Structure 1
Amino acid sequence: MRSELHTPKDYLHFLIINLLGSYSYAMGIQIFTKPFQIAPGGVTGIATILNYLFHIPIGTMIFMINVPLFILSWFFVSKGFTIRTAASLSIFSFCIDALVVWMPPYPSTSPIAPLLASIFGGILMGAGNALIYMSHSTTGGTAIISAVVQKSFPHFSMGKLLTGTNLIVVIASIFAYGNIDVSIFAAICIYISGLVMDNMVYGLNINRLLFIISDHSQEIQERILHELHRGVTVIKGEGGYDHNQKNIIFCVVSKPQFYKVRDIAREVDKKAFLVGCEAGDVVGKGFKHLD
């Protein structure tokens, strides 16, 4: 999907994906993290703490905190990014304050209930965040801060920034709830959420980068082109031992196609040398759109 919204179909796709993502995220908060006083990092964690202290609706609080961040994003990132994020956050705030409030919290009868709440809350929140991200949008908060910082300081370590932000929120939750255990469950929830999001966003796009060295490279590359309809690049190389000139085939294929390329190489040349590794993010013709 393109990052810009042009047609009614684009808007409908954006709305549906964001509703699904926001609903999943909101369920994670309403059913699991909020009842067990788990502040899952970022703006959501801050809003959860403020909800406990002042009874302000979490969705409303999240939107209010993001208002100054929207202004920063408008001037320092892009108008399109800001508008999409504001739309996603409006949907999310509505879901958590209006659509999931009827859902009962996870029962706290079991001694391991807080642990299970942090795990399943993290799963739902990670899945929701991933869906929203795949619509080329975000739920604001640290995502906006990251975009602003990287725009001005592209070499800045965002991992350290996000870790530091989450750490501050987790420590604040200890003082707010008067319970150190909540920090442990919050850390578990943050970790699970990130793991689920990464696997949904990047796990579905795992491709294979291949280098093939063979004396029959011409036949191999022709079969890749005609049978798999994948482009190849031929790199001129020289053997380190015999100093003979060799053609090295470079190509990127999907995970299922990797095994087909391997079989083609074996069929053409049993002595072919093949090196394959994961290529998590491939942008360009035949893969993800450049935007």
Structure 2
Amino acid sequence: MSEPHKTINHTVLEDSQAFALGTTMCSLGLLLLTNMGLITGQTAGLAVLLSYLTGYSFGLLFFLVNIPFYVLAWLRMGPRFTIKTFIAVALLSFVADALPNYIRIEQIDTLVGTLVMAGVTGLGLMVLFRHGASLGGIGVLALYLQDKTGFRAGHTQLIFDGGLFTVALFVMPLPTVLYSLLGAVIVNLIIATNHRRDRYIAL
């Protein structure tokens, strides 16, 4: 019989480097995503779609759409998680808008770009998750509704993403939406396969 896992608290320095690495990796994924004209799921996907439609920057829209979810995060996850998530969202909003000034992509194959984008984004999210943070949004709402009503969190996320990609079908070409969906599925598979509480526990 294996011994129970011991919870490990990260230091401030460890959290800082993880936030810098995780948000930079996710920002690189977003750079690839937007250069291909794709979207993704959850609130990041909503912010990307709104940025295409309105011309406002992703960083600004991503920060704004996450604001309502901080209250739910505080109630559901507590102040530590909420503060870390706020910092992660703010960093991603800043880095995602700044990165195109330093990295320019002139040519990228859509399939290869989708696979690389999903891999980089999935790894970036795992880094943040393992340091007790998230990028906010629908995941927090889904957990809150599950607590209050019993409606499964995964179903809430699927409904939101289904609605988002349905709307995208009316404003984007079908191949673009299909590549976007492929990328979102791969990101979720990476997280589901590699981020398990029975393998890694830390705060």
TM range, smaller chain: 0.7 to 0.9
Mapped pair 1:44 → 2:38: no
Cα distance change on mapping 1:124 and 1:74 into 2, 3 Å: same
Q: Which sits farther off after the overlay, 139-148 or 180-189?
A: 139-148
Deviations 1:60-114 (A, max 9, x none): 1111001111123234542222111101111111211124542123614xxxx22
Using the size of structure 1 for normalisation, the TM-score is 0.62
Pairwise mapping of residues 194-213 of structure 1 onto structure 2 (< 5 A)?
194-202=188-196
Task: Tell me the CA shift for residue 13 of structure 1.
Answer: 1.0
Which residue, out of 147, 155, 158, partners 1:163?
Answer: 158
**Could you say what secondary structure the match of 1:159 adopts?**
helix
Q: Hey, what does 1:136 align to over in structure 2?
A: 132
Q: Hey, what does 1:17 align to over in structure 2?
A: 18
Q: d(CA) in 2 for partners of 1:50 and 1:129?
A: 22
More helix by share: 2
Q: Hey, what does 1:104 align to over in structure 2?
A: 104
Deviations 1:212-239 (A, max 9, x none): xxxxxxxxxxxxxxxxxxxxxxxxxxxx
Cα distance change on mapping 1:199 and 1:12 into 2, 3 Å: same
Q: d(CA) in 2 for partners of 1:190 and 1:165?
A: 13
Mapped pair 1:281 → 2:183: no
Is contact 1:88-1:139 (8 Å) kept?
yes
Q: Hey, what does 1:212 align to over in structure 2?
A: none
Is contact 1:27-1:100 (8 Å) kept?
no
Cα distance change on mapping 1:81 and 1:150 into 2, 3 Å: farther
Q: d(CA) in 1 for partners of 2:136 and 2:47?
A: 13
Pairwise mapping of residues 57-96 of structure 1 onto structure 2 (< 5 A)?
57-96=57-96
Q: Hey, what does 1:250 align to over in structure 2?
A: none
Counterpart residue type for residue 193 of structure 2: N
Using the size of structure 2 for normalisation, the TM-score is 0.87
Is contact 2:117-2:183 (8 Å) kept?
yes
**Could you say what secondary structure the match of 1:119 adopts?**
helix
Task: Tell me the CA shift for residue 35 of structure 1.
Answer: 1.6
Q: Aligned pair count?
A: 198
**Could you say what secondary structure the match of 1:50 adopts?**
helix
Question: Which structure has the higher relative contact order (CA within 8 Å, separation 6+)?
Answer: 2
The structure with more radius of gyration: 1
Q: What RMSD, in angstroms, separates the aligned Cα atoms of the two structures?
A: 2.3
Q: Hey, what does 2:123 align to over in structure 1?
A: 127
Q: d(CA) in 2 for partners of 1:78 and 1:21?
A: 21
Counterpart residue type for residue 79 of structure 2: K
Mapped pair 1:148 → 2:144: yes
Q: d(CA) in 2 for partners of 1:2 and 1:144?
A: 22
Which residue, out of 162, 172, 175, partners 2:170?
Answer: 175
- Give the gaps of 5 or more residues in structure 1: 203-279
Q: Hey, what does 1:116 align to over in structure 2?
A: 112
Task: Tell me the CA shift for residue 26 of structure 1.
Answer: 0.6
- Give the gaps of 5 or more residues in structure 2: 1-5
Deviations 1:173-194 (A, max 9, x none): 22222x1111210111011111
More strand by share: 1
Q: Hey, what does 1:191 align to over in structure 2?
A: 185
